[in-house]
Structure 1
Amino acid sequence: MTMSAYGVVLESGAVRFERLLPGPIERVWAHVTEGDKRSKWFCGGEVEPRVGGSVALFFKHSQITDEPPPESAREMNDRGKLMAGTVTAWEPPHRFAFNWIGMGEPDSDVEFVLSQVGDKVRLVLTHRRLATRSRMALVSSGWHLHLGLLEDLLAGAPPRGFWSVHQRLEAEYAERLKDAPV
């Protein structure tokens, strides 16, 4: 079975992504949960490693790409933006989930599940409680891009484009999700 880079709708307001990444599982876990490693592909910020612990998500896209951002993303790209969450699952090195506060109303839920598959690691990311199709398209295009950067980082490959493909991907997801349940 071929794994698609595109996220799929699971249910109303929920998308899921799967990636097969270079292992071992402890390495991928570290890149998902440790702020200094996560900042190279997604966002920085510390995670308090326990259920009920705090999650700090510091987005500064200029740390992950040197491509110029669209004007609408310039402040987050250049100055950064802090968002927060609460750990809802902590099962190293297999499952990390959190409630994401401040990404939009209502809050949403993110879950990473990792499993060893030979010398690879299957990462399944599920993002739930996305209230509108436009929010689902924005979040889906973002995860698509960020997970691509994680894949490149773990493979030792040059990072793929980010802002240069962002608008195209967001439009593709808007089209893909136009009939999705919300």
Structure 2
Amino acid sequence: MNDMAVRNDYGTLSDPTTLMIRRVLPGPIERIWSYLTDSELRAKWLASGDMRLAAGESFELTWRNDRLADGPATPRPEGFGEEHSMKSRIVEVEPPRRLVFTWGEQAEVTFTLIEKGSEVILTVTHRRVADRAVLLMVSAGWHAHLDVLAAVVAGKPRPDFWARWAHLKTEYETLLPA
């Protein structure tokens, strides 16, 4: 049994271009929903950007990953800027359980939330990943961003995003099929 099968915090492929990754987070569901949809809260773990929660509405996400660590931050890897923005569009919204939006021109991301007692199971599904290089980047990226979210909602210090991302990218190179 490989490490990916044992550790449920790693993403898995449901097909060669679709990554699924889950986290169990402290609820209630409305709180986790707000971390997905409110720009100020989302900026603490992923990217800022105001969203009008209606199908067809456009929005822009802006990443500033250097700001995600509570302690000293590792310098960003070569090739990454201090800020990155991407235009997206809401495809589907069912508060507080499901949010689907485009990821750039071709890909799509779905957030699904399920209440389980006092916890929330958050599933992120990233569809239509262009190629293996992008798959490795988004696998490590979602994993590291969700680690930051888990820390934020648990009231713990946020981990060093770039150090975590670099480590995870190496792990995903081994874990995901070539």
Using structure 1 for the length normalisation, give the TM-score. 0.88
Unpaired runs of 5+ in structure 1?
Answer: none
1:21-170 superposed matches below 5 A:
21-65=25-69, 66-67=72-73, 68-73=75-80, 75=81, 77=82, 80-101=83-104, 107-170=106-169
Question: Secondary structure of 1:111's partner?
Answer: strand
Equivalent position amino acid for 1:166 in 2? W
Question: Secondary structure of 2:79's partner?
Answer: helix
Following the alignment from structure 1 to structure 2, what is the Cα–Cα distance between the partners of residues 14 and 162?
23
Contact 2:24–2:121, Cα closer than 8 Å, also in 1: yes
Following the alignment from structure 1 to structure 2, what is the Cα–Cα distance between the partners of residues 62 and 163?
7
Equivalent position amino acid for 2:164 in 1? V
Question: Secondary structure of 1:172's partner?
Answer: helix
Contact 1:110–1:126, Cα closer than 8 Å, also in 2: yes
Deviation at 1:71, TM superposition (A): 3.0
Contact 2:45–2:68, Cα closer than 8 Å, also in 1: yes
Equivalent position amino acid for 1:147 in 2? L
1:151-177, Cα deviation, whole Å (9 max, x unpaired): 000000111221123222112112212
Contact 2:65–2:161, Cα closer than 8 Å, also in 1: no
Using structure 2 for the length normalisation, give the TM-score. 0.90
Following the alignment from structure 2 to structure 1, what is the Cα–Cα distance between the partners of residues 77 and 86?
21
Following the alignment from structure 2 to structure 1, what is the Cα–Cα distance between the partners of residues 166 and 7?
23
User: Which of 10, 15, 37 is the equivalent residue of 2:14?
Assistant: 10
Percent identical: 34
Question: Secondary structure of 1:10's partner?
Answer: strand
Question: Secondary structure of 1:71's partner?
Answer: coil
Unpaired runs of 5+ in structure 2?
Answer: 1-5
